[in-house]
Amino acid sequence: MVDQNTFISTNDEQQAAEFVRSQAALRGVSAEFKTAVILGSGLGAAGDRAEDLGGIVVRYDQIPHLPCPAVDGHAGRLILGTGELSGTLLLQGRVHLYEGHSLERATFAVRVLQQLGVRNLLVTNAAGGINDVFRVGDLMLLNGHWTFLNVNQPAGVTRRVPSTKLWCDRLRHVARSVESPLSVHEGVYAMMQGPNYETPAEVQMLKSLGVDAVGMSTVPESLAASAAGMKVLGVSCITNLASGLSDQPLNHAEVSRVAAKVETDFVEWLFDVLSRLPV
């Protein structure tokens, strides 16, 4: 059995990146990658759409050393964009700390992206809305975060990133400029460890701290990306109101159901954002 917490050397990341480059070469697509998108719970439709548009699919389990997601709604596929999406990598699914992965493994993919030359990283997630104004199906662009976990030092991080610089104002500004039927807010995200959802009491605590939405991911990858010099845009899809704030059932199936309902608008919004990113 693989030790989930084995330290991963940069050699592993280089091998993984080399494999992705070789797949690009084999399929005749450019291996100049500028932007990547990590697609969270139920938000993988953007990867399917990129595939429909001619994108090249590489399964995570083909890529040396890349940890594979085990949670429903995380397909474990990397799509190399073509045509208008040329230079973009879409990652369908992530591994979470709550699956027992170390911080090193949860951020491994980001270091592979770094090896591939990616400069902009969009990190998406499904989240529970806490801000009273948020409705199910809205988007929230992260302008701050809270975490109670010790996630600040993923492997390979040699410089400390001021958290004021973590969420890129410029990318957020670009994302705000896109018209969409979805309501797009900004706010503070709290990462909880999971895998259980929060208690209503915890949600009240988060609310009193000024948190707008809560989830179980995104912060480790974003810290690793920022430390690697990438610009980071965090996007939450509000798939439910957080625990205790509504009578709706709160479970992974419901989260996936809501994500599927907004997928068409979400994909359009995302592709529009991608088309406007600075080169």
Please report, as ranges, the residues that interact with ligand HPA according to CB under 6 A: 126-128, 192, 197-198, 214-216, 239-240, 242, 255
Is residue 111 helix, strand or coil? helix
Task: State the minimum distance, in angstroms, from the CB of residue 203 to ligand HPA.
Answer: 8
Task: State the minimum distance, in angstroms, from the CB of residue 70 to ligand HPA.
Answer: 16
**Residue 147 near residue 190 (C-beta atoms within 8 A):** yes
Q: What is the DSSP letter of 178?
A: S
Residue nearer to ligand HPA on the CB measure, 34 or 252: 252
Q: Which of 63, 198, 128 is nearest to 76 (CA)?
A: 63
Residue nearer to ligand HPA on the CB measure, 192 or 224: 192
Residue nearer to ligand HPA on the CB measure, 88 or 217: 217
Q: How far apart are CA 37 and CA 75, in angstroms?
A: 14
Task: State the minimum distance, in angstroms, from the CB of residue 121 to ligand HPA.
Answer: 20
**Residue 101 near residue 76 (C-beta atoms within 8 A):** no
Residue nearer to ligand HPA on the CB measure, 62 or 196: 196
Residue nearer to ligand HPA on the CB measure, 25 or 201: 201
| One-letter amino acid of 115 | Q
Residue nearer to ligand HPA on the CB measure, 88 or 240: 240
Q: How far is CA 61 from CA 66, 69, 77, 122, in A?
A: 7, 10, 8, 22
Strands 184-191 and 213-215, bridge-based pairing: parallel
Per DSSP, helices labelled H in 180-235 are: 200-208, 219-227
User: Within its chain, how far is the Cα of 214 from the centroid?
Assistant: 14
Task: State the minimum distance, in angstroms, from the CB of residue 68 to ligand HPA.
Answer: 20
Task: State the minimum distance, in angstroms, from the CB of residue 277 to ligand HPA.
Answer: 26
Task: State the minimum distance, in angstroms, from the CB of residue 65 to ligand HPA.
Answer: 27
Q: How far apart are CA 35 and CA 5, in angstroms?
A: 28
Q: Is 54 exposed, middle or buried (0-12, 13-18, 19+ CB in 10 A)?
A: middle
Residue nearer to ligand HPA on the CB measure, 102 or 239: 239
Q: Which of 225, 215, 166 is nearest to 37 (CA)?
A: 225
Task: State the minimum distance, in angstroms, from the CB of residue 243 to ligand HPA.
Answer: 6
**Nearest residue to ligand HPA, scored by beta-carbon proximity:** 128
Q: What is the DSSP letter of 251?
A: S
